[in-house]
Amino acid sequence: MKKCSHSAHHSLTELNITPLLDLAFVLLVIFIITTIPPVKDLDLKLPTAAKQLKDPPRKANYITVQGDGTLYLNKKQIADASEMLQTLISLRTDDPDLNVIVRGDAHTKYKQIRAVLDVCQQANVPKVDLATDPLK
């Protein structure tokens, strides 16, 4: 005769539904949060505003310094620093908020970049940036 009425394998045949209920409650909460309608408990007449067009972004001017020291201003070759100074002064008189981006080749010596920055300072260019490539 058996002393025990339950078999040893009885506990393995039961299905534990506790994790399933937890998952069901989490999903229920997510659905409730994402489907809440926007609050419109009061009728409001919101004020209207006139549509104002934004100013177009200012065109950046590029100064490119190649490895051999050749200078370009907006894809136009510049002979020397004095010509660049005169060109920058005329651009600044046309646009007081002149924006210049200096692009130097990786093999360009710092002395050449510094000379371009000095010319920009002499021309009183308010915004000068240095272009770089992001790290990969």
Task: State the CATH number of the domain containing residue 105.
Answer: 3.30.420.270
Number of structural domains the chain divides into: 1
Q: Report pLDDT for 26.
A: 93
Domain assignment of residue 89, given as a range: 61-130
pLDDT given at position 75: 85
The two tokens of residue 90 are: 């005329």
State the residue for tokens 């919101």: 46
Angle at CA of residue 57, ends 51 and 62, nearest 5°: 175
Examine residue 4 and state whether it is found in any structural domain, yes or no. no
pLDDT at 101: 87
25 belongs to a structural domain: no
Q: CB under 8 Å to 44, separation ≥6 — which residues? A: none
**Ranges of residues in the chain whose predicted pLDDT is under 50:** none
- In a domain, residue 124? The reply is yes
Would residue 91 count as lying in a domain? yes
Q: In Å, what is the CA distance from 2 to each residue of 6, 7, 8, 120?
A: 10, 10, 12, 100
- Does 20 reside within a domain? no
Q: What is the pLDDT of residue 25?
A: 93
Cβ atoms of 75 and 32 within 8 Å: the answer is no
Task: Please report the pLDDT score of residue 66 as a whole number.
Answer: 87
Does residue 99 sit within a domain? yes
The whole-model pTM stands at 0.55
Distance CA 107, CA 120 (A): 21
